[in-house]
Structure 1
């Protein structure tokens, strides 16, 4: 029996893909959890303690309201991967390969613009004018020398200049900067090409519509 002079190397497993960066609104999630807790508390109380038609009205209101609360507070998220941007808004999920993203714009709202010109708002990255003003005031104080531009030195008995951390930015603007960096580095990649897809969130529509119909019937027949 003859043996080969050398064995072919074993196939290497594919390199693991980096995980998506996930951006969500902590304030929106906190508000959603609070609203859900209040809705469940009032609704369950009405179901247990209510009389006549009250339990049915409470049930219909919960079926209608809870999906909408989830849609506008807990559900929104932005997933930024190496090849695509996935935007989960209250009623739609939009997937844009980086090659199909024309721009990421920030004004009174943050939005992504596809090459076709279609605009999609980023619900999970809200614009906070208050945070922008706070960052601007911080920069102004730093320029005047009254901000975090000085720190105490050790052993020198004085103040030493702190390293320049750059201009202050609101959290939403920082996220948009991250997304623009990904667009710049990945927009021309071969694996980041494709078509924009939009899917409607029927898992939100169906129960909300059912609750609304039931609520209208109960009120009309009352």
Structure 2
């Protein structure tokens, strides 16, 4: 069986049998699916290292997520996640240059700033205020819009102006955002048939102009 088909088969079965009993009975299946995913992650890391030394600090194992959900504050969540993810970021990193997940329900490849702390958000907004054209140019370019469709919807976006900014600010729409992310949702068929390193590389490069703006905002 195709290795990526095997991963999806495991995730599908887990989504239908999300219990510790089932997982204990199918632990070997999980371990093999995880091994297959780590193999894909290794190839993605190797490809991305061509563009940024940031990726050299990671091994495949420290870019994947635990399969168990943290239910301390969300007891309604199922015991196990029904997706495998690749996230080459550290806790102290302010934005994600790339995020790649494949799941029983959907897959997602994207990046940007998600759930930033107050200090990070202030710095990004300040940079929008002083160098707004660079971010606007990045996210409204034909290449970006054609590929991503623009920024992803932000359900935390403010309805009014953030504190310290005029409601009539020429870039008030950008200033209202709290999360600045973009991504694609490849079909299962695409994930199975395409080289995941090719997908990760393309998304990373398409995101780079936007992420370069964030890097400038946070490190100037």
Task: Output the TM-score relative to the length of structure 2.
Answer: 0.22
Q: Which has the higher strand share?
A: 1
Q: Which has the higher helix share?
A: 2
Bigger Rg over Cα? 1
Task: Output the TM-score relative to the length of structure 1.
Answer: 0.22
> Larger RCO: Structure 1 or Structure 2 (Cα < 8 Å, ≥ 6 residues apart)?
1
